[in-house]
């Protein structure tokens, strides 16, 4: 049984590589440098050969838009969610009265259990209309000189909506992990700082937080891994951009995860099968990115554990 569990990660990597091999050979490094995602002319006669494999004429599978969208939206989301999660973790650990701890913890963890597609539904029903009718016009009226944020919003779908919804989604996981880190941290450090005359807030910010910064960073990295791979909610609010990079925070974007789902139907119409193989290559790229982020987080966590044991 353990063998089954252990091999699944390797199987995922292996089958993604094997299945996307034709696309890797066909696209070469173009997938990392080209903007354009184009299945090519499905109805033209003849096919093109590249790297020993065939694709439809005019086919171009460039993932720059999706990779950039994934990284930018996740970076924005982390910039919103991380400070918030640290504050909430502090509030949960130090401020919530003992009797309320269990209900508050349950609520925050329940928030982490809300399905992605329900966050997406909330995005479509509340967030996107709010951005297009209030946030966009407000910023356009007051900060129009800065085109990145004052450009106005047409539909509300796009970078801002995606980042905001990602922030809302990853923040509970981050806050819960950070609260766990806080609660396992020796109380003596906090009490020692109080004894030296620090206010409780000074004790937390100058003694406790610096001491646990590596674990906090690891918690943020784990959440980043989630944000990078988040699919359904992003798909529903990102605006599904193709072939263009975002020019302002309201511009439609696309992420690797979202495009894998949204392009499935069209990819299946490619008679050469190259579009489907290229989606597998996208899945492989996403797998490698999230795997690296997660491994870094785990290694940091482990390092932190070792420090704590020897101290």
257 touches another protein by CB under 8 A? yes
Q: Is 196 in the site for another protein (CB under 8 A)?
A: no
Q: Is 168 a residue that touches another protein (CB under 8 A)?
A: yes
* Position 232 contacts another protein (CB under 8 A): yes
- Which of 200, 213, 244, 266 forms a contact with another protein (CB under 8 A)? 200
Q: Which of 33, 41, 106, 247 binds another protein (CB under 8 A)?
A: 106
Residues 5-24 that bind another protein (CB under 8 A): 5-6, 8-9, 11-12, 15-16, 19
271 binds another protein, rule: CB under 8 A: no
Out of 131, 204, 218, 274, name the contact with another protein by CB under 8 A: 204
Q: Should residue 117 be labelled a site residue for another protein when binding is judged by CB under 8 A? A: yes
Tell me, by CB under 8 A, how many residues bind another protein: 76
Does 134 interact with another protein (rule: CB under 8 A)? Answer: no
Interaction between residue 201 and another protein (CB under 8 A) = yes
Candidates 64, 242, 243, 298; binder of another protein (CB under 8 A) is: 298
- Chain residues 55-94 in contact with another protein, contact rule CB under 8 A: 84, 87-88, 90-92, 94
Judge whether 157 and 239 are in contact, CB under 8 Å: yes
Residue 113 lies near another protein (rule: CB under 8 A): yes
Contact assessment for residue 136 and residue 232, using Cβ atoms and an 8 Å cutoff: no
| CA dihedral of residues 31, 35, 38, 40 (deg, nearest 10) | -80
- Considering only 120, 150, 239, 304, the residue that binds another protein (CB under 8 A) is 120
Quick check: 311 binds another protein (CB under 8 A)?
Answer: no
Asked if residues 127 and 237 have their Cβ atoms less than 8 Å apart, the reply is: yes
Contact status, residue 53 vs residue 22, Cβ threshold 8 Å: yes
Comparing CB distances to another protein, the nearer of 139 and 301 is 301
CA neighbours closer than 13 Å in the CB half-sphere of residue 252: 14
- Distance between CA atoms of 311 and 303, rounded to whole angstroms? 12
Stretch that binds another protein, among 51-59, 100-108, 182-190, 210-218 (CB under 8 A): 100-108
Residue 183 binds to another protein (criterion: CB under 8 A): no
Q: Which of 231, 248, 254, 278 binds another protein (CB under 8 A)?
A: 231
260 binds another protein (CB under 8 A): yes
């Amino acid at each position: 049984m353990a063998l089954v569990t252990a091999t699944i990660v390797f199987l995922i990597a292996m089958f993604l590589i094997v299945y996307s091999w034709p696309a890797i050979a066909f696209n070469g490094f173009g997938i990392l440098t080209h903007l354009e995602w184009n299945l090519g002319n499905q109805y033209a006669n003849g096919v093109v050969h590249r790297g020993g494999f065939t694709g439809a004429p005019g086919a171009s599978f460039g993932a720059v838009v999706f990779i950039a969208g994934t990284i930018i939206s996740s970076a924005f989301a982390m910039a919103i969610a991380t400070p918030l999660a640290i504050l909430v973790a502090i509030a949960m650990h130090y401020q919530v009265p003992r009797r309320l701890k269990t209900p508050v913890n349950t609520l925050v963890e329940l928030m982490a259990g809300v399905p992605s597609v329900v966050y997406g539904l909330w995005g479509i029903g509340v967030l996107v209309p709010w951005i297009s009718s209030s946030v966009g016009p407000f910023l356009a009226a007051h900060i129009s000189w800065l085109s990145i944020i004052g450009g106005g919003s047409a539909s509300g779908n796009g970078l801002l909506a995606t980042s905001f919804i990602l922030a809302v989604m990853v923040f509970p996981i981050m806050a819960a992990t950070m609260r766990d880190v806080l609660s396992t941290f020796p109380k003596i450090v906090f009490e020692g700082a109080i004894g030296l005359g620090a206010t409780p807030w000074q004790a937390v910010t100058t003694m406790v937080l610096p001491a646990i910064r590596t674990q906090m960073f690891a918690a943020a990295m784990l959440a980043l891994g989630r944000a990078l791979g988040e699919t359904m909610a992003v798909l529903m609010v990102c605006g599904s951009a193709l072939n263009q990079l975002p020019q302002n925070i309201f511009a439609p974007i696309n992420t690797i995860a979202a495009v894998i789902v949204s392009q499935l139907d069209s990819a299946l119409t490619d008679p050469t099968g190259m579009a489907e193989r290229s989606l597998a290559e996208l899945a492989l790229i996403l797998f490698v990115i999230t795997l690296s982020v997660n491994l870094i987080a785990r290694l940091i966590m482990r390092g932190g554990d070792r420090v704590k044991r020897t101290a």
